[in-house]
Structure 1
Amino acid sequence: MTSRITGGIEDFEKILGDVQKGNVSPVYTLIGERPVTRPLMEKLTCLLVPEESMDLNFEFLGPEDYSEGKLLELLETVSFFPGRKVVAVQDPPFLLSAGTIRVRWKKAVDSILKHDTERAASIVSRLLSELSLSPEEVLALPGNARRDILQYPAGTNLDPLMDFLQTRGAELATCDPMPGGSGEHILSWLAERSDPDRSVLMIQAEVVDRKLSVFRKLTGCGPVLDMDRDRRDRKKGPALARNTVIRWAAEQGKKIENRAVELLLQEVGHESLTALRQEMDKLTALAGDRTVIREADVRCLAVRYRDEALYQLTGAIGDRDRTRSMKSLALLLDQEIHPLAVLQTITNHWKKMMLVSAAAGACTTGPAANFTDFRNRMLPEMIEFEGNSGNVIKKTHPYALFKLSRQASGFRLEHMLGCLAHLAEADFALKGSSIPPRIVLETLIYRLIEGST
């Protein structure tokens, strides 16, 4: 069987051209982030199924309803309405393996950091179901065992997931274990009984294990469009994101200024098309009846991007993560955030950690085992410690204080006090020396993290 893996809008247009000529395949596989593959799937479906029969001749099978038997039944059941039937299946388990769990955890964390709660909840619920774990069980795991048990990717910060489970765990839907199936029955149907004039299988997948035998065989049964291939390419990725943004605007009956596109990519980045789609939806709503999305519209959203990036930087410093800290700093400076604004944010966070560290150290009952213990036992003592000298602890959300106390516990208080001199030196260097700001801030971050316990 000849591999038919392609990627990019140009290749998709060729697939549409073949369909228009009557060359229909029994299966089409679209790989990539949902905001990218969904409109492609809809466009392809509209060519395969006439509009008047769409309600009866289009079937969708989501992960929560999937079973191999149910999919085969939908493919082989003759529709009441004459014409071709399309059966779309989302993230079928026969294209996943244990090797994809780490990739899906990364997608979950990316969604959490982008505040895409609905998508994050969907991914996390499914992963916990596959691992036969509840949010409560994960939170109760010893810290040094969590990565191994969750099969969590090395180099990816675990804290966003733990925070998400703390605050959202009770809201996560309970998923039944996904039915298995090797996909061999689907391959058998494609090889022996499929008829593209009667029914077509359309697969939409965010993640696949390309090493699986079923995936390699699938590539010989019909076109496989890998929209992630260009996104991962360092040269083609920005061009793909740029063209995708322009296409999304056109689908809404709008144009977007070139300067607006470039600013959007600068603020959001080109790596996550899901994040770009979310911001495009907001920009479309912001433009209202106007037919052009302007640079000024993007600038209205830029403050939020900056605040999120600053939050990620201080979080990385508090977590003593040098790699993530340097990456966050580079993102901020590349976005032309003033170095003094970055320094002020670091300084404020550092002083707040010092206060929380001192207040936590004054508690007579020792460190808290979890957030509930912190809120019920430590927080009243910390408020009492602050007294009338300030209101930082009183005005900070209890869970934010819990996170700060966890971060502060990784630093010696003596080191934190000593770093006040480093913060002052950095301020002086940024205002009066010829040292490049990036070097000043990178050196400062290294000094802050260097004293972790």
Structure 2
Amino acid sequence: MGQLVIISGDDEFTVKERARAVARELAGGEIEENPAVEIIAGDGEELKPDEVIARFLDALRTPPFLCDSKLVWLRHLRDLELFSAREPGDGVAGVLEILTQPLPPELSVLIDGGGLDQRKSFCKTVKSAGAAVEIFNAVKATDRRFADGRKESLREICGSLGKSLEPAAAQFLTETIGGDSGMLRNELEKLCSYVGDAAVITLADCREVCSRTPETVSWEFTGAIVGRDRPRALRLLDIMLRQGEPEIRLMYALSGEFQKLIQTRLAMKQLKLTRVTPRTFDSLPESLKKEFPDNPLLKLHPFRAFKTCEGAAGFTDAELAGNLEAVRNASRALVSGGGEPRIILEQLVLRLTARR
């Protein structure tokens, strides 16, 4: 029996990478200029979906020529929902007739693209017919284990490139790149080229090399505010405004940062921590961990917990409350149109980075 493999998911980079790897496996080597491989491009602009399906159907019906078997690859189809239509067109109906039955031994089929719904009949039927279905979804920042999963991916990619990441660099990449696997690998490859023979990628390397996306600049901006680095904060504010970053989103980021610092100070008081060192969270007594299992600091990587406490320790309780109030007042001014946005934001930066 021939093989049918369907690869889908919303992580476009991983889906395409995996599809190419499977195509090589099924073809027994190279894909391009291989007479045993017929590729139907599903993402071209020149063909409409029904025309793509018609070509795919023709390829499925055409026997191998000058070879014992062949692979038909429907490559990067934009929406696999075509195969789940309630009233499929003639082309789709013909494809379904072939794919929902065991394939002949001389034919292997590979389909990749987005939009496959595993709950619908198409997916269930092809699985029953022996299809292998692989789903790759991007990790979402709202997922409960987003940070852990992202850091594991970072370690795996860095290991394959012969490098390691210092904890602060891993945190930076986790918080600024999000779930885009393609961007993640691209940034790590740039970093590996930048550090050369160095075995470890540092936070400073990330700041020098990583793309100046709104996420990375925003991350650095809030860090500069917490570190009371006024010149850097003003430079980064200018970059974000030139990038078109919405002012209200900046307010949201700053408000969230100061709320997090307030929560950190409360968590430190619960654990009776007045001062922290890089080794503090490695040496906490087990009795304390059992007494406060829900303490947010105990759920962080020890180094990340240390850096979070270090940032919070730079402010008194009164300063944190005052800074949060200043952010809220600036937000009201922006919403009400009570002044020039750049002036409001620059004045806020001066207020938040003042040394007291």
TM-score after normalising by structure 1: 0.44
Aligned-partner Cα distance in 2 for 1:57–1:227: 27
Q: Residue 228 of structure 1: SS of its match in structure 2?
A: coil
1:450 is matched with: 332
Aligned-partner Cα distance in 2 for 1:285–1:245: 16
2:74 is matched with: 88
- CA distance change for structure 1 residues 237 and 400 in 2, over 3 Å: closer, same or farther? closer
For residue 61 of structure 2, the aligned residue among 53, 76, 83 is 76
1:61 has 2:41 as partner = yes
User: What's the offset of the Cα at 1:87?
Assistant: 0.8
Aligned-partner Cα distance in 2 for 1:436–1:186: 68
Q: How does 1:166-315 map to 2 (within 5 A)?
A: 183-192=92-101, 194-195=103-104, 197-205=106-114, 207-209=115-117, 213-221=121-129, 222-228=131-137, 234-249=143-158, 254-259=161-166, 262-263=170-171, 265-266=173-174, 268-288=176-196, 290=197, 294-296=200-202, 299-303=204-208, 308-309=213-214
Deviations 1:182-226 (A, max 9, x none): 944332221247335412122232x44556554454554523222
User: What's the offset of the Cα at 1:40?
Assistant: 2.0
User: What's the offset of the Cα at 1:283?
Assistant: 2.0
Deviations 1:298-325 (A, max 9, x none): 5323256696458875xxxxxxxxxxxx
Aligned-partner Cα distance in 1 for 2:316–2:73: 64
Which has the larger share of helix? Answer: 1
- CA distance change for structure 1 residues 439 and 303 in 2, over 3 Å: closer, same or farther? farther
2:26 is matched with: 48
TM-score after normalising by structure 2: 0.54
1:172 is matched with: none
Deviations 1:324-345 (A, max 9, x none): xxxx7xx865x68634247974
Kept after mapping to 2: 8 A contact 1:267/1:305: no
1:338 is matched with: 226
Deviations 1:30-61 (A, max 9, x none): 32423322332232222211126762333251
2:292 is matched with: none
1:425 is matched with: none
Give identity over the alignment, percent.
12
Aligned-partner Cα distance in 2 for 1:433–1:231: 32
Deviations 1:271-314 (A, max 9, x none): 222321220231233245x4x65223x5323256696458875x
Gaps of 5+ in 1: 1-22, 98-179, 314-327, 353-395, 409-429
Kept after mapping to 1: 8 A contact 2:138/2:180: no
Partner amino acid for 1:259?
Answer: E
User: What's the offset of the Cα at 1:94?
Assistant: 4.1
